[in-house]
Amino acid sequence: MADLESLYRKVDGLVLIEIKLSSVMQLFNSFDPAPFHEKELDSAAENYIVGAVEDFPAKTKFRIVIYLPPEIIGTDQAKKIIPAIHNHFQYRMLVADRMFRAKFRHGRESFVIGLTFLAINLIARQLLLRPAGRFLDQLLADALLVFGWAAMWEPITVLLYQLRPIIRKKNVYKKISGMDIVIEPLYLPALNKTVDFFED
């Protein structure tokens, strides 16, 4: 963890996620037609913030620091940055929650279908093996067993493996949506770890 701590500054026990901008609109997706305070973040900014949070243990506390040229800090757009970032990640959290519920519903339905299919195959297998089993009966019985367990592959994959990444992402979005955010003038001393969105 020492290497991560060397990449990010810490103030008052908070890891700083620092972003330098030359204009407010650099932070947002320019193709999003929504009102300013509901605009999507630029994908690079979102990925940087999310990636920074994912780099640290879940209990780590953060602060997002947005650096702007002093002459635009007091503008109406600059004042809307903080609620806009919170709104963006609240929306991402809701999307992740919907995805989780849809995936869980799919896994639950698949589990019922797979378990029913497995039960039918096991019953059919027992019927095939009840008499002194011929080779063909044994072959069909084993095939039914394989098909029955294969039907359980999808629900097992969904319920055991595909839900956890969605939960982790939802928790990251929830954390960011309530994160402390401050706006500072850009002429502060050189920063150790920032994302610079200045245009060339």
Environment class of 197 (CB within 10 Å of its CB; exposed 0-12, middle 13-18, buried 19+): middle
CB 40 within 8 A of CB 25: no
Residue of 77, 61, 13, 67 lying closest to 45 (CA atoms): 67
Give the global pTM.
0.80
pLDDT of residue 140: 83
- Count of C-beta atoms within a 10 Å radius of residue 172: 20
Q: What sign does the dihedral 178-183-186-192 (CA atoms) show?
A: negative
194 has a pLDDT exceeding 60:
no
CB 184 within 8 A of CB 72: no
Q: Hey, which bits of the chain come out as E strands?
A: 10-11, 14-20, 62-68, 180-185, 194-196
**Could you tell me the CA-to-CA distances from 15 to 18, 104, 105, 154, 173 in Å, in that order?**
9, 34, 37, 40, 17
Locate 98 and state its tokens. 């919907």
pLDDT digits (tens, 9 = 90+) for 77-107: 899 899 999 999 999 999 999 999 999 999 9
pLDDT digits (tens, 9 = 90+) for 18-76: 999 988 888 887 766 666 556 788 889 999 999 999 999 989 999 999 999 999 998 98
Q: Where are the domains of the chain?
A: 2-94+178-196, 97-167
Locate 147 and state its tokens. 């098909």
